Chain A
Amino acid sequence: EAGVAQSPRYKIIEKRQSVAFWCNPISGHATLYWYQQILGQGPKLLIQFQNNGVVDDSQLPKDRFSAERLKGVDSTLKIQPAKLEDSAVYLCASSLGRAGLISYEQYFGPGTRLTVT
């Protein structure tokens, strides 16, 4: 079974530029998460999708961050414009969870390391 795929693995941009990250979850996983992990801290949830609907985006800085999950499969996370404090690893995760079935375990991709200069 293929794992969660993310690209790119690394990205360096200047502040005020824009960047996009892509995630392909495990086949059949209804729930998809985007996390931001700053060095020395645990992952912090940015947004959670169930199929193509947003379940929780309370921690997403909506003035600069946006995310979509077209057709309930792949997802993209965009930052525009980037700030220095956005330097972090962006992790995508998926889980089976769907209506009537709770699944707590999440499967993570390798992450995208973003450096904003």
Chain B
Amino acid sequence: DQQVKQNSPSLSVQEGRISILNCDYTNSMFDYFLWYKKYPAEGPTFLISISSIKDKNEDGRFTVFLNKSAKHLSLHIVPSQPGDSAVYFCAATPAVAGKSTFGDGTTLTVKP
């Protein structure tokens, strides 16, 4: 049973437009949510996070939205740039800390 799902394996967007990556979770014990970005042959790098007490967190071009009732979160990238092309992983962590459960990732391609 996959507790964190990223239902879109890939997404292609034109440079300058908005990229929206989605993530669904099933475990109501998850309390903290993170997005990681991964380039080929590198490990994932932390991008942005959100606590369950918030519904939005913004950092520059990146905004994460959380809908607790729907158990859904999304990552918005505006405007998208070719350097944003990577695999994006959603991760969820319970309040007890540490153990994150990852989705299978969405490959974002931003076309010039």
A positions within 8 Å CB-CB of B: 4, 31, 33, 40-45, 48, 50, 55-56, 91, 93, 95, 97, 102-111
Contact = CB atoms under 8 A, between A and B. Distances in A.
Interface of B: 4, 32, 34, 36, 41-46, 49, 89, 91, 93, 97-105
A110 B38 CA distance: 10
Given A31-B98, A45-B100, A104 B89 contact: no
A93 B34 contact: no
Contacts of B36: 108
Contacts of B102: 42-44
B43 A110 contact: yes
B46 A105 contact: yes
Contact of B45 (A40, A102, A103, A108): A108
B24 to A, nearest CB: 14
A97 B103 CA distance: 22
